[in-house]
Structure 1
Amino acid sequence: MGGETLSFLDLLGRKKRGKSRDWTQAQAFWCILQSTAMCDGHLSPEESSQTNTILHSSRLFSEMTAEDLSDLHDEVISRINSSKDALEDACGALSPSLRLTAFVHAFDLLLSDMEFDKTEDAFLQKLSGLLNVSQENAAAVAAVMRWKHPPIEDVDAKD
């Protein structure tokens, strides 16, 4: 093997990077959603509504009280504001079984305000890399999003 040490943590996708192990799954997932919503510098009413829908419908957060959710939000925002690596750390901490789910929610969130610009595209590309989303899975998610969020001109078109 050329002197390299085999790591089963790496093979299973369970090796944590840096401060990643300090994140709970709920914190990591919420950080990804909050970073997504704010990637273009502002939070639209649609994005705020969509994050709340995810928060209240996801099994990851279902056992949390209103106070727990408030504490979670405050902790995640504090981490985002105090570390430029918060998103990377959160993605590294997120279980491989939740990574595609997080990517789907992030993509959906970016389209919720019916706008998608170069900043959001760049963010989504970065996020797909941080979450190790394959090109095949990213393309499949994009296809579903085209159906879920058709362009306005398609919606308004008369046949």
Structure 2
Amino acid sequence: MALFSRLRSGGGAPDTTIARAVLAPAVLTMAADGSVDRAELVQLNNVCGFSPIFGPLGPETVTRLVNEILNDLSKRGPHEVITEAAGKLSPALRETAFCFAMRIAMADGVLDDGEKAALSGTATRLELAPETFGKIVDVVAMMQRPATA
């Protein structure tokens, strides 16, 4: 499907507005503990690889977007970046964005205090209902269980 998406859109570069907005909470979560580790980047690339939002973009574009968001976070701060992202997403895509962030937070198997704070603030800025927040946390925790669980 992604192979022909550029033909339908006229062959130009795909619009990355929504993809960037969906990525922003995940990138904020990655950076919340003060560093971006390899497990988080691998997890983000895996999640994007199976998402129809990112299929037409390819991994190089996703990597570029991640770097742009990291730069924005350092220049403008997390509140502005997440508020801007939330403004570009429908309620359904806000849920998707939070799912991505939760998956990234669980990539290393540990939710540290910085990640918890980032997730809580992100959920608030994305205006997620508490029951939706709880469902996402529960499902992602189930998905990230080790084989020894």
Q: What range is the shorter-chain TM-score in?
A: 0.7 to 0.9
Alignment of 1:4-15 (within 5 A): none
Structure 1 or 2, whichever has the larger Rg, is: 1
Match of 2:134 in 1: 139
CA distance in 1 between counterparts of 2:95 and 2:42 reads 21
- Aligned mate of 2:31, from 25, 38, 52: 38
CA distance in 1 between counterparts of 2:67 and 2:90 reads 22
Match of 2:100 in 1: 105
Gaps of 5+ in 2: 1-15
Structure 1: which amino acid aligns with 2:34?
A: G
**Contact 2:23–2:100, Cα closer than 8 Å, also in 1:** no
CA RMSD of the aligned region, Å?
Answer: 2.3
- Aligned mate of 1:77, from 67, 70, 75: 70
TM-score scaled by length of structure 2:
0.75
CA distance in 1 between counterparts of 2:59 and 2:116 reads 33
SS of the residue 1:41 aligns to? coil
**Contact 1:92–1:130, Cα closer than 8 Å, also in 2:** no
Gaps of 5+ in 1: 1-22
Aligned residue pairs, count: 132
Q: CA deviation at 1:33?
A: 1.7
| Identical counterparts, % of pairs | 25
Match of 1:60 in 2: 53
Residues 146 and 68 of structure 1: CA distance in aligned 2, closer, same or farther (over 3 Å): closer
SS of the residue 1:58 aligns to? coil
